[in-house]
Structure 1
């Protein structure tokens, strides 16, 4: 099967679509990608890329068609909108000149929804079905994560979203809870297919790595890995850390990652004198994450309180489960449901620092055997629901039968 993946983000940017593309190639499919010039997350073009350079390249047997775009920068707001629109515009032009024929188009949409436009243009040229994989709900996520509440803008985005969904042949959703939103946007139920994210095969259980362990503080280690942003609700995390530090100073909070809220976190650590409790270690290559996770006692996932976030399965959830570690969650809805269903950790509702503090103290008080059982439950749930080969096989089945 010959598959065109349309995504604003692709290698060397670190997104899950990279591994899915590799998995399809491993299964014998021919994969090409229409994408932009890499600039995420730092907002500038990667080394050896520019507005005019590298119109195409090959990575791991995958031909990549690079569209021009304006990099996202670091300021957000207007610059991010320009980034989104520039990719939609230039990739649509690129789609007019792609000569190859494909059997399927897979659109990867972790925001923006406009990634569907070039795919629709190519569909009309070549009469190829579109499988649109929804990672973020639009326009709802624009309000939840971006703070946009202008009714005119939101109405336009709602109409654009409905149009893209209408032109797509099948819509894959990363969370079963997304279905109710799509139905409210006039998507026919028969078009909607639950297709969750998996993770790269290097996410797996490991024995504690001594070289990592010696760089970490002694004590009960609560580890967070990922974006330090608005959606992750670091206000609650820091307040919970402050509460815990008063009675349980042996509990250490280890933060791996970077993001726009990092200066806020640094300021709060100073303000609350949490230098011996909360540790910002910076960013590391994603392939190193399992080695860090092996040294943690539990892994932390958080989202701020918002109806749309309650419908989402946070992308780090599968990584945590795959590594067989108990999970502490500060979130509502689908993410918490999975942890409870898996019996893989403890959950507090979003934006409740007192309850989050209580859950962490509770886990730190458990026996080693109790914690180990939760870790085993996490891995079992991952294997049954999110394992990489399982989901690649499922996608093949969707392409062949839907």
Structure 2
């Protein structure tokens, strides 16, 4: 079986970032599928590499989170045009596996189905265009209506859709009741991320104290609500780490300086191995987003990495992630309007090692049982070819949070 896997932001573990597509494609190859990954890079030329059996086609499409709205749209459309040109030159595959965001990757899927009768499976990582519309990025009514219509058309014409959370799956079914939707959440690489004791040499390397530490490791954008983390740092004696990159990083650093937060450290983002080392210095991980209903459906990589590292969780979300944190006793819910309650809970955790260790143990156990690459690959292969592949695990733990 031959798959064209289309993901504009494909990265490997050595590059850092969201490596879901790398692990899924690698798993497909291991089971005998031929996978051509069509992606983009920052260079000015086309490149081709074979990475762990994945045939990776790099298209020259410059993109950065610091770009303005119009430049981002141009990058999305340029990728669509260049991907179409490449697909014309390659042998016809059996399926397209197309992942969003951006939603515009669906244009490639629709075109390939019409032009070459290639069926496609569409993976929905975030609800587009609902997310940018809800946070005010897309305000033009005509553009909003066009994107909603495009979204429904992509779902209707997909052979199957893959949702990264129960909330996303429910939203797809409401928009297109006839859609066949499968939930395959994000996951962590349990070989890279695993519980480790704090290492004195690493603490010294990063200039950290051996004290109760809370970390945020991930994207630093307008939707990540990291001002709430600064509020916690200002109100507590604990140690806080922020490791990431994004458009809001300079603003956040400036605000931290103005507040004179001596207990907050910014650490440059890096590959998975570096994230692993930095996270090993922390006791608890933050999963923060702005308080908008759309973010309750998120399936953020940083949550699953934190589970694999065996970290207690602090989250300000009440969606399926918040329910997992509560039901599985992984950590605490933070309401910024009830700061004193969070401070009290943090004090109890910091002063009671047994309670902290129980949360950390629960996190790792949840990752091992449900949120690992093997389970996700098994489910994706079953979605692609249910006659050949059988899903080998029970997903009740997250399906029941829908």
* TM-score of the aligned structures, taking structure 1 as reference length: 0.88
* Aligned counterpart, 1:179: 169
* Aligned counterpart, 1:42: none
Greater shift in the superposed pair: 374-383 or 74-83: 74-83
* Corresponding position: 1:27 with 2:31: yes
Tell me the matched-pair count.
380
1:2-401 equivalences under 5 Å are 2-11=2-11, 14-15=17-18, 16-36=20-40, 38=41, 45=42, 49-50=43-44, 53-72=45-64, 74-98=66-90, 100-109=91-100, 111-144=101-134, 147-189=137-179, 191-200=180-189, 201-214=191-204, 215=206, 216-244=208-236, 249=237, 251-274=238-261, 276-349=262-335, 353-365=339-351, 367-401=352-386
Cα deviations across residues 105-157 of structure 1 (Å, max 9, x unaligned)?
21121x21011222232233443331111001011111245622222211111
Going from structure 1 to structure 2, the CA distance change for 1:187 and 1:74 (only over 3 Å counts) comes to: same
Q: Please report the RMSD computed on the Cα atoms of aligned residues, expressed in angstroms.
A: 2.1
Going from structure 1 to structure 2, the CA distance change for 1:280 and 1:134 (only over 3 Å counts) comes to: same
Rounded to whole Å, the distance in 2 between the matches of 1:211 and 1:186 is 54
Tell me the SS of whatever aligns to 1:373: helix
Rounded to whole Å, the distance in 2 between the matches of 1:144 and 1:395 is 30
Going from structure 1 to structure 2, the CA distance change for 1:25 and 1:349 (only over 3 Å counts) comes to: farther
Going from structure 1 to structure 2, the CA distance change for 1:262 and 1:94 (only over 3 Å counts) comes to: same
* 1:208 Cα deviation after fit: 2.6
Rounded to whole Å, the distance in 2 between the matches of 1:11 and 1:369 is 38
Kept after mapping to 1: 8 A contact 2:188/2:367: no
Tell me the SS of whatever aligns to 1:279: strand
Higher relative contact order (CA 8 A, sep 6+): 2
* 1:292 Cα deviation after fit: 2.1
* 1:72 Cα deviation after fit: 4.0
Tell me the SS of whatever aligns to 2:224: coil
* TM-score of the aligned structures, taking structure 2 as reference length: 0.88
Rounded to whole Å, the distance in 1 between the matches of 2:82 and 2:106 is 13
Kept after mapping to 1: 8 A contact 2:126/2:168: no
Rounded to whole Å, the distance in 2 between the matches of 1:197 and 1:258 is 20
Rounded to whole Å, the distance in 1 between the matches of 2:64 and 2:246 is 14
Going from structure 1 to structure 2, the CA distance change for 1:87 and 1:146 (only over 3 Å counts) comes to: farther
